[in-house]
Amino acid sequence: MASFEITGGTKLRGDITPQGAKNEALQILCAVLISPEPIVIHNVPNIIDVNKLIELLNDMGVLVTKITSSSYRFESKDINLDFLDTEEFKKKASALRGSIMIIGPLLARFRKAKMPKPGGDNIGRRRLDTHFIGLQKLGASFDYDSNDSFYNIHAAELKGCYMLLDEASVTGTANVVLAAVMAKGETTIYNAACEPYLQQLCAMLNRMGAKISGIGSNLLKIEGVDYLGGTEHTILPDMIEIGSFIGLAAMTGSEITIKNCRIDMLGLIPSVFQRLGIKLEFRGDDIFVPEQEYYEIDTFIDGSILTVADQIWPGFTPDLLSIVLVVATQARGSVLIHQKMFESRLFFVDKLIDMGAQIILCDPHRATVIGLGKQVPLRGISMFSPDIRAGVSLLIAAMSAQGKSTIHNIEQIDRGYQNIDDRLNALGAKIKRLN
């Protein structure tokens, strides 16, 4: 188990470019299975979850060619469906939550798919009902083998229909869209997720020959086609990494320029950090975070305590609530963090309390943070990273703390953040990787 040793209290300075978006990459990479023609994808992040998925695709028969450090060519001409019955497939696919999105393209193209129960972060219940109910409405049937935790999905024919999704699941919507683009007739998906990552997927499919309208809204209309061709696609910068860098700059009193942010795709993220009192300057497509001695949390207009809660897009993304919570510990003022979607994502606050933060964990979904206003710095401790986002939140806390901190189980961080230690050290951080 690898660890980070962090010497805190160091100010950073310089430019940093966010990696490609992990959550988009997982969708886009699964989508290459839908066409036998070459698909070139740029800005692919070099992180564990993405690399594992590329390896899985290669095992399935996808011809993968690495063009540059972040660009790949995929050709899914000869897919080996028999590989889905192997123990190796079960092991690799179950270790990766993003693998659930291979169902849609396989069903669209081959009318059958298999999938073990997927893994991923232990952050709470992440049900798959939306995926399967949506695919069933298109004409697919599935059975679950409880003996080996395998889902078997097949369809003699996929037919377009109207469906109202029971929740605006991003991966659920992606799976249904990937199947519907090659279904007969028209499919209408209401209460669809409309995250930028899903917009990117739909735009890519349209360039391949799909007929999707309503992109960016929660009402998608899809006219089925018989064949999809190749294309070229560039993945968005990771909005979670951008938010993490904003929070890091504020916590450490650093001056950082975040390059090539695609500000038009960030939604509420900049404004939420601004309400925490963090100054941001938008310079073209770059975000400049100036050095600040302190930052003060805003209140609502009636004077009541600010609440930051996750919502479906275009609301605030749940992946950044952990970052907001950490940043708030050194702000002036108080804030209520309300994590609605996942019941286990706030269970890292005990580490922050051990570091000296003043946090009241109200219940599994809510925490009240009383900001210390940088009057009492956090202190370094030894801790474990429970999941990707909590891991980076603890890393940010450690970089602002006095003394040395150690974060164990950093494989969780590596799953979502590309060479994070090297990139931050280049700005002046003191992070040592221990194997």
| Predicted local distance difference test score (pLDDT) of residue 127 | 64
Q: What is the DSSP string of 229-269?
A: --EEEEPPB-HHHHHHHHHHHHHHT-EEEE----GGG-TTH
Closest CA to 128 of 187, 173, 188, 67: 173
Residue recorded with tokens 């606050």: 349
| Predicted local distance difference test score (pLDDT) of residue 94 | 87
DSSP 3-state assignment of 424?
Answer: helix
| Predicted local distance difference test score (pLDDT) of residue 89 | 94
Q: What is the DSSP string of 74-110?
A: EE-SS--GGGGGSHHHHHHHHT-GGGGGGHHHHHHHH
pLDDT tens-digit series, residues 44-91: 999 999 999 999 999 999 999 999 999 999 999 999 999 999 999 999
What's CA 58's distance to the chain center, in Å?
A: 23
* Bridge partners of residue 13, in order along the sequence: 255
Closest CA to 329 of 362, 289, 375: 375
Positions annotated as catalytic residues are 121
pLDDT tens-digit series, residues 342-377: 777 788 999 999 999 999 999 999 999 999 999 999
| Predicted local distance difference test score (pLDDT) of residue 124 | 40
Q: Are 180 and 162 in contact (CB under 8 A)?
A: no
CA distance 201 to 344: 29
Number of H helices, E strands in the chain: 14, 23
Q: Please give the structure tokens belonging to residue 418.
A: 């590309």
Q: Are 98 and 45 in contact (CB under 8 A)?
A: no
Q: Which residues of the chain have pLDDT under 50?
A: 120-126
The answer to whether domain 3-19+237-434 and domain 22-234 are alike in fold is yes
Q: Enumerate residues 6+ apart whose C-beta is below 8 A from 303.
A: none
Of 3.65.10.10, 3.40.50.300, 1.10.1270.20, 2.40.50.140, which CATH number belongs to 3-19+237-434?
3.65.10.10
Domain ranges of the chain: 3-19+237-434, 22-234
* Fold annotation for 22-234: UDP-n-acetylglucosamine1-carboxyvinyl-transferase; Chain (3.65.10)
| pTM for the model | 0.93
> From the CB of residue 134, how many other CB atoms can be counted at a distance below 10 Å?
27
In this structure, the strands spanning 286-289 and 306-309 are unpaired
What's CA 393's distance to the chain center, in Å?
A: 15
Closest CA to 308 of 293, 294, 320: 320
**Cis bond upstream, residue 314 (ω within 30):** yes
CA distance 352 to 329: 9
Residue recorded with tokens 């972040």: 70
* Bridge partners of residue 289, in order along the sequence: 256
